[in-house]
A and B are shown apart, each in its own frame.
Chain A
Amino acid sequence: MLKSPHLLGIKDLDEASIHLIVKTAKEFKEVLNRPIKKVPSLRDVTIANVFFENSTRTRLSFELAEKRLSADTINFSASGSSVKKGETLLDTVNNILAMKVDMIVMRHASPGAPHYLAKHIKANIVNAGDGTHEHPTQALLDTYSLREKLGDLDGKNIAIIGDILHSRVALSNIYALKKQGANVRLCGPSTLIPKHIQSLGVEVSHDVKSTLQWCDAANVLRIQLERQQIKYFPSLREYAQFFGITRQMLEELPKEIVLMHPGPINRGVELSSDAADSPHSIILDQVENGVAVRMAVLYLLASRA
């Protein structure tokens, strides 16, 4: 049983909870491979998906997970809503809750927004990404996908490559991997690696080739241009030259590594097309596992009502 009724970040999650979510997700993955992919567990639960930021995968994945669990769902996106008329976050959410909603899945551009909500409202909160802070369900599905390929992560070498500074996926993954005993190395241009990140117990490198040689799995991240107000590197073309991963680089490695990407991919920048579609890549497995992991999270949280 999870200790908190909310999933706000991986930072506050202990290793036992991560294992419980992974174990539960494994059973949900089996459910998703049945001819009838639905279970009735959450039939008396209503969930609102509140998205103040754009999303494709996460939002569809959550919605599908909710439907597979037989929950009632409503969707809210900031564009075209009364947020544009000046309504506060708390008012918006309280109005949704007044319609007898039990859980809120929220994505917000401000770090800490779900933590603020959890303090002020009575509903289970699931963080679906808060600015550059955390994206816990992505880290959990990355963990699940990695464990499928590599088994126990204790002592495994995992690299996170790309725009670490603006990535909530990176931070949640660092927490999740360190809690499971993995060695984590971050790789990217020095301007895109946060200062003092080593205090989380990770290594930092600026050389992709040696990082790929070192790791058992590489999680490659997108350059988040929409969050970059200043120039962090001269050009995307130069970034691709120095930090882009090609299929040839993967094939020249002494051992086979697992290639991951949380999406959306900018083909030709962080990953070449042939690398993204190579047999090393488990990018589409990650998407498949995402539904099972989110079902597990919702299932375990809803019972904490």
Chain B
Amino acid sequence: MTRKLILSSPLLEITISRLCQELIENQIKDVETVILGLQPRGIYFAERIAKELGKQLNQTFQVGKLDATFFRDDYRRRDTIAPNSTDISFLIENKRVILVDDVLATGRMVRAALDAMNSFGRPTKVELCVLIDRIYNRDLPINADYVGKAVNTLPTEKVLVEWQEQGHEADKIWLITQ
């Protein structure tokens, strides 16, 4: 098993800052925008994005945690995954939603998240922001609007994201080859 570092500080902070610039360019201020982080690790990235956006625009954005476990399409086809908490203390009806996840691979989790989101209202627009886009790994016609870093990976490889908030020493994103 080999581990290759694909993203870490200070490039990570620059990437987050650049993603926020892109969001701002796309008139994020025009409509009321909320940020939804996908469980389990997208929530940390969502917090970072919200913090950076807040810094750049001098305003606060509401951040929610969305868990799509109950909406997955592989239930009963693999071992059950214990659910994480969903914590959305606002309605997303008529708002612009930025869905945030750490890694986009097959797109199945995003599909589940889009379903799960329906329980909280009908947003006017939903966009997807990911830190790592594993291109050529898609099972579904889903693409991200904002991409931190696109990497070309084999389906057998794994992208491991370590956040400081989870207790790791530093933020590091690894590519793991079995």
List residues of chain A with CB under 8 Å of any chain B CB: 1, 20, 23-24, 26-27, 30-31, 34-36, 38-41, 44-45, 299-300, 302-305
Contacts and interface: CB of A to CB of B under 8 A. Distances in A.
Contacts of A304: 80
Contact of B76 (A20, A30, A40, A302): A302
Given A20-B82, A23-B83, A41-B75, 16 more contacts: A1-B80, A23-B82, A27-B67, A27-B69, A27-B70, A27-B84, A27-B86, A30-B85, A34-B120, A35-B119, A35-B121, A41-B71, A45-B76, A299-B80, A303-B79, A303-B80
16 contacts: A1-B79, A24-B82, A27-B69, A27-B70, A30-B86, A30-B87, A36-B118, A39-B70, A39-B71, A40-B71, A44-B76, A45-B76, A299-B80, A300-B80, A302-B76, A303-B76
B70 A40 contact: yes
Contacts of B83: 23-24, 27
B115 interface: yes
Interface string B60-81: 0000000101111001100110
A20 B81 CA distance: 11
A240 B75 CA distance: 50
A128 B157 CA distance: 45
B: contact size bracket: 20 to 34
Given A26-B85, A27-B84, A27-B86, A36 B79 contact: no
Contacts of B67: 27
Nearest to A296: B83
Contacts, number: 51
A197 to B, nearest CB: 34
A36 B85 contact: no
A40 B115 contact: yes
B70 A41 contact: yes
Interface in B74-112: 75-76, 79-80, 82-87
Nearest to B87: A30
Interface in B101-151: 115-116, 118-121
Interface of B: 67, 69-72, 75-76, 79-80, 82-87, 115-116, 118-121
A300 B76 CA distance: 10
A36 B72 CA distance: 17
B153 to A, nearest CB: 28
A304 B69 CA distance: 16
Contacts of A44: 76
Nearest to B118: A36
Nearest to B78: A303
Contacts of B119: 31, 34-36, 38
Contact of A303 (B75, B87, B115, B121): B75
A12 to B, nearest CB: 19
A26 B80 CA distance: 16
A196 B152 CA distance: 67
Contacts of B76: 44-45, 302-303, 305
B81 to A, nearest CB: 9
A39 B119 CA distance: 9
Contacts of A20: 82
A106 B70 CA distance: 25
Nearest to A19: B82
A269 B80 CA distance: 45
A26 B76 CA distance: 21
B116 to A, nearest CB: 8
Question: Closest 8 CB pairs between A and B?
Answer: A39-B70, A303-B80, A36-B119, A27-B83, A34-B119, A41-B70, A41-B75, A303-B76
Contacts of B86: 27, 30-31
A40 B69 CA distance: 10
Interface centre among B70, B76, B86 (most CB of A within 10 A): B70
Interface centre among B67, B82, B85, B115 (most CB of A within 10 A): B82
Contacts of B70: 27, 31, 39-41, 299
B76 to A, nearest CB: 5
